[in-house]
């Protein structure tokens, strides 16, 4: 009898506890909805402040304001809304055009509690309220109020101010009450990005910024070698940029989630914009966006805009693997790839044939595909896409006018490191295109333009040096191109060319 009473008390007490919900993991399930913001030539700082300290927020793991700012900054970067987005909760930058501050004023969950029937049964058996608490899902509502402010970062002048309150309902168990808070909190941001007055103020600042920049823009000149009678570069450039860190079907022996692959893609897309590329000519797909279907649409529909004189760039950061039953079949892993069904990936030769159909003059494929710190393995044998690159090169099947650069030259586990905050290949690639390869080791003139020849020279030296220094082992890129055309190395990814 005593044991039974003790069991009842334990179960009743257990039925009153709530799970602690990790903010970063929960926020990952949400994406702001509503009308997408326009493109603004502004550097914006994002800061969130949490003024709520109640039972609800105590059930959230991590600093809520910081995690919310990370989530919102990633959304703005993924959609390329601003020229630059700075997370002021985690870093500091002086040269900002505007600051957006969000103050969390209130955050409440409407806790319905266990039903009267369960409470009554709990008096006798204890198990009923516990079962309901942990296993019975209910529609639970939360309400959040956030005050949003646009601020001049130089004068600290308040430019625009509004308070948004939103409620949202989520089906969860009573033990998971705090999960509902993220639904209402992110809904306030969905309302913000659809708010006409918010867009109006951003548009006004965008216009003023462009006017202020006009004298500075005159310093840029188009390279005479690619100038038309109208003074415009005749080569249009198109890029499909893919980065996948989080996979739909992760497993320790398969598609292990990565750390920096999505950051690699963001960094490369940002580098292209810095080189003068138009946002509308860069298709950036990260994580959940990079399904096999969406990649198909990008390569076979969106890229149909490219003409015969255009340049196409494909950048892919994530996992690469071969079919263990047929190693000749080599794949890039999409977000929804199931490693147990190799064909759910995107075959490398299929990508080649799709890009060949575009009939573009030049295609550049950059792949940082085995840089997780763990290659996909089966039966203890590492697999990579590199052998397929080498095979194409040996058999002279690399299409004319194409360049391949791949981030690892062996089947050893490729690398990410916190020193770089990227894969080794992407880290060196971004540094090279940002100017470090210009005139590198006399591979070309130091004239403000990085050619593919200078990039090749830099990557073949800098990447082994970097990896040897940080990891104790030299990793080299694989670089292949069409045969017999040395002029291909005079290509550049720079759209806005400024010779010194």
Q: How does the average pLDDT of the chain come out, rounded? A: 76
Q: Which CATH number goes with the domain that contains 109?
A: 3.40.50
Residues 341 and 477 in one domain: yes
The residues, any chain, with a CB within 8 Å of residue 492's CB and separated by 6 or more, are 449, 450, 451, 452
In angstroms, rounded to a whole number, what is the distance separating the alpha carbons of residues 116 and 129?
A: 9
Average pLDDT for 174-197:
81
**Shared-domain flag, residues 190 and 280:** no
Contact 8, 46 (CB under 8 A): no
Share of the chain above pLDDT 90, in %: 25
Q: Is 213 within the bounds of a domain?
A: no
Residues 201, 243, single domain; the answer is: no
Pair 244, 147 in one domain: no
> Same domain for 386 and 273?
yes
pLDDT at 194 over 90: no
Q: Do 176 and 66 fall within a single domain?
A: yes
Q: What is the share, in percent, of the chain residues with pLDDT greater than 70? A: 71
Maximal C-alpha separation, the chain? 97
Do residues 279 and 273 touch, judged by C-beta distance below 8 A?
Answer: yes
- The pLDDT of 240-266, averaged and rounded, is 87
Residues 6+ apart with CB under 8 A from 282: 80, 239, 241, 269, 272, 273
Lowest pLDDT segment from 70-74, 257-261, 478-482: 478-482
DSSP letters for 389-406:
HHHHHHTT-SPTTEEEEE
**Spacing of C-alpha 90 from chain mean position:** 18
**Confidence band for 121, pLDDT divided at 50, 70 and 90:** very low
Identify the CA nearest to 477 among candidates 397, 385, 392: 385
Distance of CA 296 to the CA centre of its chain: 19
pLDDT digits (tens, 9 = 90+) for 291-331: 999 999 999 999 988 888 889 999 999 888 878 888 778 88
To which residue do tokens 């196409």 refer?
312
pLDDT of residue 316: 92
Range among 70-84, 168-182, 412-426 rated most confident? 70-84
Query: Are residues 201 and 252 both part of a single domain?
Result: no
| 246 and 151 assigned to the same domain | no
User: Does 495 map to a domain?
Assistant: no
Who wins on pLDDT, 156 or 418? 156
Query: Using CA atoms, how far apart are residues 327 and 387, in angstroms rounded to an integer?
Result: 9
Give me the number of domains the chain comprises.
Answer: 2
Given 207, 237, 254, the domain boundary residue is 207
120: domain range?
2-207
User: Pairing state of beta strands 377-378 and 381-382?
Assistant: antiparallel
pLDDT of residue 177: 63
Are 236 and 186 part of one and the same domain? Answer: no
> Within this chain, do residues 318 and 397 fall inside the same structural domain, yes or no?
yes
Mean pLDDT over residues 70-91, rounded? Answer: 86
Residue 321's CATH number: 3.40.50.1460
Under the banding of pLDDT at 50, 70 and 90, the label for residue 206 is confident
Shared domain for 154 and 278, answered yes or no, is no
Answer whether residue 212 is part of any domain.
no
More confident residue, 368 or 34: 368
Summarised one tens digit per residue, pLDDT across range 337-386 is: 998 898 999 988 888 888 888 888 889 989 887 532 222 222 222 344 45
> What does the alpha-carbon distance between residue 384 and residue 393 come to, in Å, rounded to a whole number?
16
Asked whether 48 and 73 are in contact (CB, 8 A), the reply is: no
Q: Mean of the pLDDT values across residues 469-490?
A: 77
Radius of gyration (C-alpha) of the chain in whole angstroms: 26
């Amino acid at each position: 009898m005593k044991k039974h009473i003790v069991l009842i008390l334990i179960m009743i007490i257990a039925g009153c506890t709530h799970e602690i919900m990790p903010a970063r993991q929960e926020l990952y399930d949400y994406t702001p909805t509503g009308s997408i913001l326009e493109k603004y030539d502004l550097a914006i700082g994002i800061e969130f402040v949490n003024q709520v300290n109640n039972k609800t927020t105590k059930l959230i793991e991590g600093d809520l304001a910081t995690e919310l700012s990370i989530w919102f900054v990633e959304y703005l970067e993924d959609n390329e809304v601003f020229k630059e987005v700075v997370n002021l909760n985690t870093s500091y930058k002086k040269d900002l055009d505007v600051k957006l501050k969000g103050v969390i004023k209130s955050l409440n969950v409407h806790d319905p509690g266990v039903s009267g029937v369960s409470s009554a049964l709990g008096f006798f058996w204890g198990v009923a309220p516990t079962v309901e608490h942990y296993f019975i899902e209910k529609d639970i509502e939360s309400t959040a109020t956030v005050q949003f402010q646009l601020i001049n970062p130089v004068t600290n002048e308040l430019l625009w101010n509004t308070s948004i309150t939103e409620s949202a309902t989520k089906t969860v168990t009573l033990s998971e009450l705090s999960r509902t808070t993220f639904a209402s909190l992110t809904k306030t941001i969905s309302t913000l990005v659809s708010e006409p007055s918010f867009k109006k103020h951003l548009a006004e600042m965008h216009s003023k910024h462009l006017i202020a920049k006009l004298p500075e823009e005159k310093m840029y000149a188009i390279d005479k070698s690619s100038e038309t009678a109208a003074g415009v570069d005749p080569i249009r450039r198109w890029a499909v940029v893919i980065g996948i860190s989080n996979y739909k079907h992760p497993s320790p022996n398969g598609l292990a989630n990565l750390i920096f692959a999505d950051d690699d893609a963001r960094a490369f897309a940002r580098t292209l914009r810095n080189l003068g590329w138009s946002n509308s000519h860069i298709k950036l797909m990260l994580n959940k966006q990079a399904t096999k279907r969406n990649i198909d649409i990008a390569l076979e529909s969106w890229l149909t805009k490219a003409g015969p004189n255009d340049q196409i760039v494909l950048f892919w950061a994530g996992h690469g693997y071969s079919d263990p039953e047929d190693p000749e079949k080599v794949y890039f892993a999409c977000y929804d790839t199931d490693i147990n069904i190799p064909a759910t990936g995107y075959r490398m030769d299929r990508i080649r044939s799709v890009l060949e159909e575009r009939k573009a003059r030049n295609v550049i494929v950059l792949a940082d595909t085995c840089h997780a710190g763990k290659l996909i393995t089966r039966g203890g044998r590492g697999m990579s896409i590199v052998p397929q690159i080498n095979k194409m090169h040996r058999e002279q099947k690399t299409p004319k006018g194409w360049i391949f650069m791949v981030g690892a030259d062996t089947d050893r586990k490729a690398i990410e490191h916190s020193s770089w905050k990227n894969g080794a290949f992407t880290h060196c690639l971004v540094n090279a295109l940002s100017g470090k390869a210009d005139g590198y080791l006399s591979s070309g003139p130091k004239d403000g333009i990085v050619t593919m020849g200078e990039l090749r020279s830099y990557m073949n030296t800098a990447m082994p040096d970097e990896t040897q220094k940080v990891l104790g082992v030299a990793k080299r890129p694989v670089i292949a191109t069409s045969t017999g055309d040395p002029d291909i190395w005079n290509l550049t990814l720079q759209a806005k060319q400024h010779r010194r």
